[in-house]
Amino acid sequence: MARKVGFSVFLFPDSVGQMSFANKLLSISTRPSDTFAAKNEVEINKMSERYDLIDIGINLAHRSFQEDREAVIQRALDAGVTTMIITGTNQVRSQEAQRIASGHPTHLFATVGVHPHYSRDCNADTIPELKRLAALSQVVAIGECGLDFNRDFSPRPQQEKWFEAQVALAEELQKPLFLHERDASQRFTEILLAVRKSVPAVVHCFTGSREALKTYLDMGLHIGITGWICDERRGQSLRQLVREIPLDRLMVETDAPFLVPRSMPTRPKDGRNEPCYLPFVLEAVADCLGKPCVEVANTTTATARDFFRIKKPS
């Protein structure tokens, strides 16, 4: 979840907006002449013929997907995003992520955890509850957890306490970690070095400095790249840094409904990102690396399957 720092601060209305692109892909278009729909459909269809992608961070339990979640999932599958990992950001959304994933056991998986913004709500029941959820089907990682000193929605000591507890839980359960870090790389690193022993970990939606990237790579961490890289202004530094990430440590994600890729020919009017737009992130990464999209797709997908221990859907 990157809402607090996204270039498009996501203010999705409570009622779900017009999604003509969605309808178009489902062949139930109510506005067949819509240029936005037509353009993006062509782009995504062109891409999806070649790629098999995994969206490692999709907030499908977010309220903005409440009304049309099944259609969102279907559009992603149609766009070649054959596997999605639903992010758990607090206790309730972690339950919800697991519940949604268990309805699509071949394609959907979930993480369970508490985002640093919500660490103020944690209590003695939190870790036992995450442990209970982690044992259920489809749960592949602990998170998202970490530190966010950018907005400080929860006091820093609480963020640190519950981050440590979740890293320890991942170690106890031997589950990978799905991590969030914003303006907190020093304490984040110290805590990981102190508590993490052997579990794999991915820093999702990386937007940090060269120094932070080097530290994370030296610690053996994986890096998740979102549509931030498609932003011609704020993504400048990331576009350079991505070249320093070994391809087998790199994974792609939308972090939808946040962070609509700015490289889309026409962006959704309601500002909601969807997993079916993941090919735009992939294309931007491939462009920065100077590698064919298909190679980056194959490698990042293989890395994600290996990292989250997910079998290829048959």
Assess 203 for contact with Zn ion (CB under 5 A): no
Assess 201 for contact with Zn ion (CB under 5 A): no
Residue 46's H or E segment, with its range, is: helix 35-48
**Is 65 within 8 Å of 19 (Cβ atoms)?**
no
- Cα-trace Rg, the chain: 18
For helices 278-289 and 35-48, give the axis angle rounded to 10 degrees: 60
Which one, 143 or 268, has the nearer CB to Zn ion? Answer: 143
Instruction: Tell me the longest C-alpha to C-alpha distance in the chain.
Output: 57
Assess 93 for contact with Zn ion (CB under 5 A): no
Which one, 3 or 196, has the nearer CB to Zn ion? Answer: 3
Q: Which stretch binds Zn ion (CB under 5 A): 15-23, 173-181, 229-237, 243-251?
A: 173-181
| Contact partners, residue 51, CB within 8 Å, separation at least 6 | 80, 279, 282, 293, 294, 297, 301
Assess 180 for contact with Zn ion (CB under 5 A): yes
Query: For the chain, what is the total number of helices (H) and then of strands (E)?
Result: 11, 8
CB of 225 to Zn ion, least distance (A): 13
Which one, 40 or 159, has the nearer CB to Zn ion? Answer: 159
Please tell me the distance from the alpha carbon of residue 238 to that of residue 206, in angstroms, as a whole number.
8
CB of 165 to Zn ion, least distance (A): 18
Q: Which stretch binds Zn ion (CB under 5 A): 20-28, 74-82, 179-187, 267-275?
A: 179-187
Which one, 25 or 251, has the nearer CB to Zn ion? Answer: 251
Q: Which residues are registered as beta bridge partners of 181?
A: 147
Which one, 80 or 176, has the nearer CB to Zn ion? Answer: 176
Q: Which residue has the tokens 């991942």?
A: 170
In the numeric block, which tokens belong to residue 271?
A: 């500002």
3-state secondary structure of 223: strand
Assess 62 for contact with Zn ion (CB under 5 A): no
Please tell me the distance from the alpha carbon of residue 57 to that of residue 34, in angstroms, as a whole number.
29
CB of 2 to Zn ion, least distance (A): 5
Query: Rule CB under 5 A: which of 41-60 touch Zn ion?
Result: none
Assess 1 for contact with Zn ion (CB under 5 A): yes
Please tell me the distance from the alpha carbon of residue 100 to that of residue 13, in angstroms, as a whole number.
22
Tell me the site size for Zn ion, rule CB under 5 A: 3
Which one, 25 or 184, has the nearer CB to Zn ion? Answer: 184
CB of 281 to Zn ion, least distance (A): 15
Name the site residues for Zn ion (rule: CB under 5 A).
1-2, 180
